[in-house]
A and B are shown apart, each in its own frame.
Chain A
Amino acid sequence: MNLKIRKITCFALLLALSLILSYIENLLFSGISLPGIKLGLSNIAVVCVLYSFGPLQALLLGIAKSFLSLLIFGKLSGLMYSVFGIVLAVAAMSLTKKTGAFSLFGVGISGAAAHILGQLFAACIMLSSAHPLRLFPLLCILSVASAAILYFPEHTILSFLRKSGIVE
């Protein structure tokens, strides 16, 4: 019972973390905000939940984050991008994690590539054209670069969670 409460609290904290990270990121990079060209700080929380809880919980966190950030930022068009992105990202990360061949770094990279692909799919549906996919190479390299940067905070948080014993 005690452990369950701990888990729920930890999940809620990570969800809150992801929201405040999106907010901070919005403040910092409000000038350049094409979906994709941003650090994606809130993905730190998604990756941490994937490692400490599992794929389903990561998906839940991602979707909850998308809907809650809609309430914060009020951009309805952003909802479809983030939901598409997060679903593909969590799917790709779960698969790469399951193979066991890759560490946190590789899992994050695959998630970043899938995330941008998902967002571009959403853009394709909204524009009813396959044209946005042409942006994929550039955006993919940028998001892979941000995933590489995000590896470090993710590593720190997960090392802490591992030692603290909050998640078994």
Chain B
Amino acid sequence: MIQQKDLKIRKSDIVLTVSIVAICVGLAIIPFFFSRDGSSVSIYVDGKLFAEKNISENSVTDVDGMMTVVIENGKVYAQNSVCPDGVCEHSLPITKSGDSIICLPNKIMIKISGEGETDAISG
């Protein structure tokens, strides 16, 4: 049932791999061309809206004691998460509309939405 020819890498495998990687790179790059500064930061817990903040005002929000969301000079990041993974803490601060930080263990999602007011001026 297992055949030797099935075990050796073929040309088609390389083509498949390269095309999957190329598609991923494409999908990752495209949003950069369309990204805009956001205006509001929404925090969802378990799919429900927990809080909405203005991105231009610095603030520190406690999310049900599970983590702290910090907004600082237009940058949003998570701190003091109770989950052991800490993926959300290690993710880079988000700044653009559509960006998000997702904490799967606590089912928390932080999302930037809306278009920034400075968009037309600063591009």
Smallest CB–CB gap between B40 and chain A, Å? 15
A105 vs B17: C-alpha distance when bound (angstroms) = 9
Which residues of A are found within 8 Å of B10, using beta-carbon distances? 101-103, 105-106
A95 interface residue (CB < 8 Å to B): no
Q: Please, which residues of chain B bring their CB within 8 A of the CB of A168?
A: 1
Tell me whether A141 is interfacial, beta carbon within 8 Å: yes
- For the residues of A in contact with B, the DSSP-based class is helix
B6 at the interface (CB under 8 A from A): yes
Question: In the complex, which residues of chain B have a beta carbon less than 8 angstroms from the beta carbon of A161?
Answer: 2
Within 8 A of A (CB), among B22-48: 24-28, 31, 44, 46-47
Note all chain A residues with C-beta closer than 8 A to B121.
none
A34-B87, A104-B7 given; A52·B21 CB < 8 A = no
- Does A138 have its Cβ within 8 Å of any Cβ on chain B? yes
Tell me if B100 counts as interface (CB < 8 A to partner A). yes
Contact of A105 among B13, B85, B102 (CB under 8 A): B13
**What are 29 A-B pairs at a CB distance below 8 A?**
A33-B87, A34-B87, A34-B104, A51-B2, A77-B105, A101-B10, A102-B10, A104-B7, A105-B13, A110-B20, A123-B104, A126-B107, A127-B46, A127-B102, A127-B109, A129-B47, A131-B109, A131-B111, A132-B102, A135-B102, A137-B24, A137-B25, A138-B24, A140-B20, A141-B21, A141-B25, A144-B21, A155-B7, A162-B3
